[in-house]
Amino acid sequence: MASHYEAPIRKPLVLGDKGYHDVSVDIAAPVERRANKQWWIVFSIALAAFLWGIGCIVYTISTGIGTWGLNKTVGWAWDITNFVWWVGIGHAGTLISAVLLLFRQKWRMAINRSAEAMTIFSVIQAGLFPIIHMGRPWLGYWVLPIPNQFGSLWVNFNSPLLWDVFAISTYLSVSLVFWWTGLLPDFAMIRDRAVKPFQKKIYSLVSFGWTGRAKDWQRFEEVSLVLAGLATPLVLSVHTIVSFDFATSVIPGWHTTIFPPYFVAGAIFSGFAMVQTLLIIMRKVCRLEAYITVQHIELMNIVIMITGSIVGCAYITELFIAWYSGVEYEQYAFLNRATGPYWWSYLLMMSCNVLSPQIMWFKKIRTSIVVSFIISIVVNIGMWFERFVIIVTSLHRDYLPSSWTMFSPTFVDIGIFIGTIGFFFTLFLLYARTFPVIAQAEVKSILKSSGERYKKLRDAGQPLYQINKGANVTSSVTEAESTTDDDTGTEKVSSLLDTLGSFDATKETADDLKKVKGIGPQMEQTLNQIGIFTFAQVSRMTEKEYNLLDEITGSFPGRAQRDDWAGQANRLNNKD
């Protein structure tokens, strides 16, 4: 990996005065905290949508595909549109974790975990459609080349739909392995912090006994690189194969050679937009603004802008070649898109995908969180319509005018789509509560080179490490003595107040320390006796002070650190 030196011109990727411990605390906080009311509300909505979707799926399978709006001409519509849309969204995760890893982009470290989670959850949604859009889904296993009692009846390997089976299943498995490997050190971190036995048990189970030895880390990095090297061609090939579903056909509007790279560009485009949507909310809700900074949002906007331009270039290329080809069917296909009965969807796709990302050329706009959020949603609407336009407008009017028709979805089409959105958010919300949403191990690896604190120290010409001699020595000495006589007690108190600062009742007012979760009336009294009255004092506590405090009070060892009193007090202090 690149060396620790970083050009001073580069902006910090971790904001605030963050050390290694702060990273652990901040990232573990959402997992260790209880869910609040809003989470339960959103989760219930998502779950309801999911259940409604299941109802629609059961209805479809038990009654028949005729419950959908498909007809004899338009045999693919919302089902495959949603399939391609979800697969596309899934691509950004692998892109962020694999491609950005290959390009040594340090900023990916704050977003890769969530992006990969998003990949997995959206590929699961995508994976539903190939099954439920079958007329006889219970024979779905026939797509697998398994020796059987029909005289070894085999599958035909010439169909892109079969390639899809291999592509999607490989993609899901590799992404899952890649994601889980990266999670091992982070699960281990949660495991080591866990105090409840159940939590400890679960996280020991999922972290596979990770101990973080040098050898483990070396292999871990090698595996990550190899998987990234494999996942990159995979990510290209998966969406390419999805695009082959259309491009290998002879349908005007479908048969075009640009589809493979253009679908991939579109997938990155929509996937990044989805990551943007989710992370803008997540950084706020999980209080991760110091890690997912405006710079991250800006860089994602730039990727959205670039891929949006590539997609725009592909649209223009298609239009030009349709004219240039001199093939009337091809020319009509594009005329129909622009001026036919679905002109509005074509217009939506063009304006959402080509025009809207272009405003990102302005720095003011691409660093605005509100605008980024809106654009990221607009892009995903546009990309849904892109797939809809490609699929439906090419099918509903092709070679034989006598088979021209229209398509309109039924509530079942729509219901299943809503159901997948619900399912996606159900999974994602559960993930956000139980998984470390930022790869803490990776963030810690860039903290010294790209953290604001260390950048400032470097700029000031100060050493990055400072050994606080006096305090450390006394605390270790007092520990060794392990006596409880008054002298050492007052010594501890004074050394504690040395760092926390003393309270001057004439100038300051005491805060209600009970607001800090974990501090009860009794503890507040104890703290006051020591001389701690304000949030500001509490917020200065680090591991050393916590230990000192534990020694002085002798009650609830480890409690203060676990509850992150300092972090809580810091927030309370800032609120005032």
Q: To the nearest whole angstrom, how small is the minimum distance from the Cβ of residue 265 to other proteins?
A: 10
Contact residues for 255 (Cβ-Cβ < 8 A; gap 6+): 246, 247, 248, 249
Q: To the nearest whole angstrom, how small is the minimum distance from the Cβ of residue 116 to other proteins?
A: 21
Our finding on whether 460 is near other proteins (CB under 8 A) is no
Contact residues for 569 (Cβ-Cβ < 8 A; gap 6+): 516, 535, 536, 537, 538, 539, 541
Choosing from 44, 63, 325, 403, the residue that interacts with other proteins (CB under 8 A) is: 325
Q: Terminal CA-to-CA distance of the chain, rounded, Å?
A: 43
For the chain, how many helices (H) and strands (E)?
A: 25, 0
Our finding on whether 250 is near other proteins (CB under 8 A) is yes
Which residues inside 2-41 make contact with other proteins, applying CB under 8 A? 2-3, 5-10
Q: To the nearest whole angstrom, how small is the minimum distance from the Cβ of residue 244 to other proteins?
A: 7
* Residue 397, token pair as written in the block: 């009017």
Choosing from 71, 181, 317, 542, the residue that interacts with other proteins (CB under 8 A) is: 317
Burial class (CB in 10 A: 0-12, 13-18, 19+), 560: buried
Choosing from 285, 327, 365, 414, the residue that interacts with other proteins (CB under 8 A) is: 327
Indicate the residue among 195 and 226 with the shorter CB distance to other proteins: 226
Instruction: Please report how many Cα atoms fall inside a 13 Å half-sphere around the Cα of residue 440, on the Cβ side.
Output: 23
Q: To the nearest whole angstrom, how small is the minimum distance from the Cβ of residue 10 to other proteins?
A: 8
Indicate the residue among 363 and 515 with the shorter CB distance to other proteins: 363
H or E element, residue 121: helix 112-132
Q: How far is CA 183 from CA 175, 215, 352, 439, in A?
A: 12, 17, 35, 7
Our finding on whether 458 is near other proteins (CB under 8 A) is no
Stretch that binds other proteins, among 256-264, 416-424, 485-493, 558-566 (CB under 8 A): 256-264
User: Cα–Cα–Cα angle for 42, 171, 440, nearest 5°?
Assistant: 60
C-beta of residue 26 within 8 angstroms of C-beta of residue 287: yes
Q: To the nearest whole angstrom, how small is the minimum distance from the Cβ of residue 105 to other proteins?
A: 9
Our finding on whether 451 is near other proteins (CB under 8 A) is no
Binding mask 213-242 for other proteins (x = CB under 8 A): --------------------x--xx--x--
Choosing from 244, 385, 388, 454, the residue that interacts with other proteins (CB under 8 A) is: 244
According to DSSP, the residues that pair with 111 across neighbouring strands are none
b/e map 120-148, b = 16+ CB within 10 Å: bbbbbbbbbbbebbbeeeeeeeebeeeee
Cβ atoms < 10 Å from Cβ of 324 = 11
Q: To the nearest whole angstrom, how small is the minimum distance from the Cβ of residue 306 to other proteins?
A: 9
Q: To the nearest whole angstrom, how small is the minimum distance from the Cβ of residue 200 to other proteins?
A: 39
d(CA 420, CA 89): 13
Q: To the nearest whole angstrom, how small is the minimum distance from the Cβ of residue 257 to other proteins?
A: 4
Task: Name the residue with tokens 């999607």.
Answer: 168
Indicate the residue among 219 and 515 with the shorter CB distance to other proteins: 219
Indicate the residue among 22 and 386 with the shorter CB distance to other proteins: 386
* Residue 350, token pair as written in the block: 């063009």
Q: To the nearest whole angstrom, how small is the minimum distance from the Cβ of residue 177 to other proteins?
A: 21
Indicate the residue among 51 and 313 with the shorter CB distance to other proteins: 313
Q: How many residues bind other proteins (CB under 8 A)?
A: 39
Q: Which residues of 97-156 form beta strands (DSSP E)?
A: none
Burial class (CB in 10 A: 0-12, 13-18, 19+), 151: exposed
d(CA 247, CA 254): 5
Q: To the nearest whole angstrom, how small is the minimum distance from the Cβ of residue 258 to other proteins?
A: 4
Stretch that binds other proteins, among 187-195, 252-260, 280-288, 529-537 (CB under 8 A): 252-260
d(CA 201, CA 423): 27
Our finding on whether 248 is near other proteins (CB under 8 A) is yes
Our finding on whether 256 is near other proteins (CB under 8 A) is yes
C-beta of residue 298 within 8 angstroms of C-beta of residue 347: no
Our finding on whether 62 is near other proteins (CB under 8 A) is no
Indicate the residue among 76 and 244 with the shorter CB distance to other proteins: 244
Stretch that binds other proteins, among 31-39, 186-194, 307-315, 364-372 (CB under 8 A): 307-315
Q: How far is CA 411 from CA 52, 60, 69, 283, 520, in A?
A: 11, 11, 9, 35, 54
Choosing from 249, 367, 542, 573, the residue that interacts with other proteins (CB under 8 A) is: 249
Q: To the nearest whole angstrom, how small is the minimum distance from the Cβ of residue 324 to other proteins?
A: 6
User: Cα–Cα–Cα angle for 427, 305, 118, nearest 5°?
Assistant: 10
Which residues inside 258-277 make contact with other proteins, applying CB under 8 A? 258-261
Contact residues for other proteins, defined by CB under 8 A: 1-3, 5-10, 102, 233, 236-237, 240, 244, 247-250, 255-261, 309-310, 313-314, 316-318, 320-321, 324-327
